[in-house]
Structure 1
Amino acid sequence: MDPPGTVPVFLSLVGRKPPSARARAARQSVLVSLLVISLFAVAGQAILTYLGIGIPALQGAGGLLLLLIALDLLTGRGGSEPEAMEDVNVALVPLGTPLLAGPGAIAATIVFVRQAEGRIGAYVALALAIVTVHLVLWACMRYSGVLIKVIRESGITLLAKIAGLLLAAIAVQLVADSVRGFISGA
């Protein structure tokens, strides 16, 4: 999870909407992310075990999904059809998940819960960290309107391209970590 790094993607998806819609999108996406991360903190290992999925598979799938979103941002297809995006709540998908509560955050949460090994203090620290990150995510997205006044329309387009490039790099890293996980686990 990268609060400042989320701002370019957030602005590329909702930067052209009115401030009230941006505030609602920030709130909704953070709540969705908090719900998903909390769910995986509590029952993530059980969910993955039940489905027969390992952390490397989760990372690989998430990396491929992020790559698709990154390509949309880079090619401009994701933000060039505002009429089509009106009916879709981008705060839920792709902002809430997989961008905020993505495979990397989910896998990290599951690993940290595993490392807590029944220590109450470690669980409390992890819960506080999850809540704090989500508050910072919300603040960065909620007050990104200040950035819009400075960078204007062409800046939003530029940020979308930069965000697409960074997301593509994150996606490739997730896939590489996935391959490394499969190789070391085999």
Structure 2
Amino acid sequence: MSFSFKEIVSVTLILFSVIDVIGSLPVIIDLRKKVGKIESERATIVSGVLMVSFLFVGERILKLFGVDVASFAVAGALIIFLIGLEMILGRTIFKADETVGGASHIVPIAFPLIAGAGTLTTIISLRAEYQTVNIIVGIVINLVLIYVVLKSSEWIEGRLGPGGLAVLRKIFGIILLAIAIKLFKTNLIPDF
């Protein structure tokens, strides 16, 4: 168990790209307008609990179904690849549940926007390549960033504008495609 600055940076960037809290700003802003206030603290805490829990329990769940981490990593690479395509092409492949219900901090912000299928799949996929302690640090750094973005979503909306948000989304989409290809190479063909 050792800290690696390089691994922490890699994990942080991968999760930041997959979570895409900046790309989710239009949904967050729209929700804020509908419900009046986003509970940033609760959304961040619920997201963190989901991510860390899945980091530790996710592999056991996979074993229950007889799936190894490398196979799950390849499946995760497929999802990451599709999310990257979504971001670059501006098309919706994954549909989020639109119901807000009474818990605006949990649905749809904490789950599925922040700790959705792509994020949870990525966390398990990262276990195949990075040490757990570095993944946890990457998750915590992302939770801090998520909290800051949720807390200042109104300010960010005014500063970036629609064009700035679109550019950021495309950049993170390209990064995700590269990450997906790396995961394919590492887990599908281990000797490559």
| 2:74 and 2:187 in contact (8 A); partners too | yes
Superposition deviation, residue 57 in structure 1: 0.7
Q: How many residue pairs were aligned? A: 167
Instruction: Return the offset for 1:56.
Output: 1.0
Whether 1:159 and 2:168 are equivalent positions in the alignment is yes
Whether 2:42 is the aligned partner of 1:35: answer no
**Contact residue 33 and residue 101 of structure 1 kept, 8 A:** no
Distance in structure 2 (CA, Å) of the matches to 1:26 and 1:165: 30
* Structure 2 gaps, min length 5: 1-11, 101-106
With normalisation by structure 1, the TM-score equals: 0.65
How many angstroms apart in 2 are the aligned matches of 1:93 and 1:46?
22
Check 1:69–1:126 CA distance in 2 against 1; reply closer, same or farther (3 A cut): closer
Distance 2:70 2:135 in 1: 24
Residues 108 and 73 of structure 1: is their aligned pair in 2 closer, same or farther, counting only changes over 3 Å?
A: closer
Q: CA deviation at 1:62?
A: 0.6
Shift of 1:68: 1.3
Matches within 5 A, 1:1-186: 1-2=12-13, 5=17, 6-11=20-25, 13-18=27-32, 23-24=38-39, 27-28=42-43, 31-41=46-56, 43-78=57-92, 86-87=98-99, 89-91=107-109, 92-103=111-122, 105-109=123-127, 112=131, 129=137, 132-133=140-141, 135-145=143-153, 146-181=155-190, 183=191
Cα 1:49–1:86, aligned 2, differ >3 Å: closer, same or farther?
closer
**Cα drift, residue 12 of structure 1:** 5.5
Distance 1:108 1:162, change over 3 A: closer
Give the whole-Å Cα distance in 2 for the aligned partners of 1:16 and 1:77: 19
Give the 3-state SS of the residue equivalent to 1:150 in structure 2: helix
Does the Cα contact within 8 Å between 2:87 and 2:172 map onto a contact in 1?
yes
- Structure 1 residue runs without a partner (length 5+): 114-124
Q: Hey, what's the Cα distance between the residues in 2 that align with 1:36 and 1:163?
A: 20
The CA distance in 1 between the partners of 2:171 and 2:136, in whole Å, is 31
Deviation at 1:141, TM superposition (A): 3.1
Relative to the length of structure 2, the TM-score reads: 0.63
Q: CA deviation at 1:72?
A: 1.6
Letter in 1 for 2:50: L
Cα distance change, pair 63–176 in 1 and its aligned pair in 2 (3 A): same
Instruction: Report the equivalent of 2:3.
Output: none
SS of corresponding position for 1:160: helix
Root mean square deviation, CA, Å: 3.8
